[in-house]
Amino acid sequence: MNGLMQDWPLVVTSVIDHAAQWHGEREMVTRTVEGPIHRTNYAELHLRSRKLAQALQKLGVAKGDVVATMAWNTHRHFETWYAIMGVGAVCHTLNPRLFAEQLVYIINHAEDKLLLIDTTFVPILEAIQDQLPGVKGYVLMTDRAHMPDTKLANCHCYEELVGAESGDFAWVPVDETDASGMCYTSGTTGNPKGVVYSHRSNVIHGLAGNAPDAIGARSVDNILPVVPMFHANAWGLVFAGPMAGCKLVMPGPKLDGASIYELLDTEKVSVTAAVPTVWSMLLQHLEKTGSKLPHLKRVVIGGSAVPRVMLEAFERDYEVDVAHAWGMTELSPIGTLGSFKSGMEDLTFDERMDIKVKQGRPMYTVEMKITDDDGKELPRDGKAFGHLMVRGPAIAASYLKGEGGTVLDDEGWFDTGDVATLDELGFMQITDRAKDVIKSGGEWISSIEIENVAVGHPGVAEAAVIGVYHPKWDERPLLIIVPAEGASPSKEDVLSFMKGKIAKWWMPDDVAFVDEIPHTATGKIQKLELRKQFEGYELPS
Ligand code: ADP
């Protein structure tokens, strides 16, 4: 028997329609690329998205075309997403931090037809435009007064395009399974691979990602997505926010501690989200200025492991609830979030932090298990660690154009490439990327856990751990440290600080001090690069 309910397609344009109709007055505040703060609301954003959709059609964009953006989190970037998806095209977010060769590869591989870009990124595209034969034109996301002199061919002014249209436009009908967005993985091994989201997967992820135990934003909340829209869909906030009718505060290009603090404060932000590096800049700023965070209730942190010192600073010093999240581009991107279960609120501070330092529980729509090398499921005891496997409606089934071959196993599980533990209550803890885990005498050592302990030392700004060759144990951990500003901790200092905080046999065999640790385009430590840098490193015997 079929259910007798209406066939209402899960398409992303329904999100902006809903926001405009029922939360039309709710604000979006942007720190613009041009500088000043800009205010608008969902009703205006809805109208301008439709105007832009009309303009895109006039520029030749048709259903199924791929249109790329290279832009900061701003009201214009928000409009761009809904306009592109609203004409039935696919919105491909480009990460400006990628190398030029990677951008050329991605733009050509995705067959991007038109690029909408912030003026900040004009030089990047001018330098590579000759290598982009498929790109028919560029739209600079600014007004006429701020249009730069540019060598970009067939270049349009965003505000002029929008200003010329009426907005009398019906979204182009699509199936919910049609592609709506695209984002390439960072490609730390081989070429980046394209993850293609559908309307349905984005709507489902928006709904599930905003459940009370996940991001949990309500219409009364003011959300600041610091996590860029070019990085894994800004963790779904650009869908979840308007679904709930939240005020959205868009940080534009300024992501330093002082600028973020100013928005958190003046816009009374209650929920925010970003990777740990952003929060270390904010915490340093707070410490320096003695500022507090009276409005902020919840900070979602993910993308890399949250160091315990950061977790404790937010929770103890600023009374902000930290939601440690784990995810990846292939998961739309959230997989787990660390909300407490019944009774956990009553534990001691240290016990609560023991739970929060883990990456959290699977949200609804994400199935999860850990397996050994032979694919056998491992126990959920918080100790056994194995390959983290996931399944669900907002998880990639394959990559664009079949790159990387078959990515699901016979039962439809996707191997995340992460190694993790799962405990009895469902809390997952990442041990490492499978390729970064250190194999010492047949046992595995978690580089993440050692890094977490090391950054707890006040003289350490950043820490990375890699395995280096050892004649007896195969590999042993080498701790690489960037000292904090003005500090010069010694090897002995750091090691004695770490003693007792991790297993004895996990203690690094040596400590190296460097000025800088290389990062990927998504802000993660580039272990591959570090391993190259320290190739042939001799550990003290
Ligand atoms: P992103 O999620 O940053 O878009 P990727 O998809 O390239 O970028 O990276 C996903 C990977 O990031 C995960 O597979 C995992 O290794 C790492 N990661 C994400 N969140 C966390 C976290 N909270 N703790 C540890 N590692 C994390």
State residue 295's pLDDT score: 98
377 Cα: distance to centroid of ligand 1 (angstroms): 22
Integer-rounded Cα Rg, in Å, for the chain is: 23
pLDDT class of 95 with cuts at 50, 70, 90:
very high
* 79-94 average pLDDT score: 98
| Residues 235-279: tens digit of each pLDDT | 999 999 999 999 999 999 999 999 999 999 999 999 999 999 999
8 Å CB contact between 293 and 320 = yes
8 Å CB contact between 478 and 465 = yes
* 215-228 average pLDDT score: 97
pLDDT class of 191 with cuts at 50, 70, 90:
confident
Q: Report the atom number in ligand 1 closest to the C-alpha of 325.
A: 23
Domains of the chain: 13-197 (3.40.50.12780), 365-433 (2.30.38.10), 438-533 (3.30.300.30)
Which single residue is written with the structure tokens 């301008």? 48
Phi/psi at 155 (nearest 5 deg)?
Answer: -105, 135
* 70-84 average pLDDT score: 98
| Residue 196 to residue 396: CA distance in whole angstroms | 7
pTM score: 0.93
Percent of the chain scored above 90 by pLDDT?
Answer: 92
- Please check the confidence at residue 187 and state whether its pLDDT lies above 80: no
Q: Report the atom number in ligand 1 closest to the C-alpha of 417.
A: 14
Which member of 185, 336, 365, 416 is catalytic? 185
State residue 188's pLDDT score: 61
| Residues 422-455: tens digit of each pLDDT | 999 999 999 998 889 898 988 889 999 999 999 9
Identify the helix (H) or strand (E) that includes residue 257.
Answer: helix 257-266
Pocket of ligand 1 (CB under 6 A): 185-186, 231-232, 302-305, 324-329, 333, 359, 416-418, 430, 433, 522
| Residues 149-179: tens digit of each pLDDT | 999 999 999 999 999 999 999 999 999 999 9
Output the residue whose Cα is nearest ligand 1's atom 19.
303
**444: annotated active-site residue:** yes
| Residues 369-400: tens digit of each pLDDT | 999 999 999 999 999 999 999 999 999 999 99
| Residue 320 to residue 460: CA distance in whole angstroms | 24
Which member of 444, 501, 520, 524 is catalytic? 444
| Residue 111 to residue 196: CA distance in whole angstroms | 13
pLDDT class of 189 with cuts at 50, 70, 90:
low
**532: annotated active-site residue:** no
Q: How many residues does the chain have?
A: 541
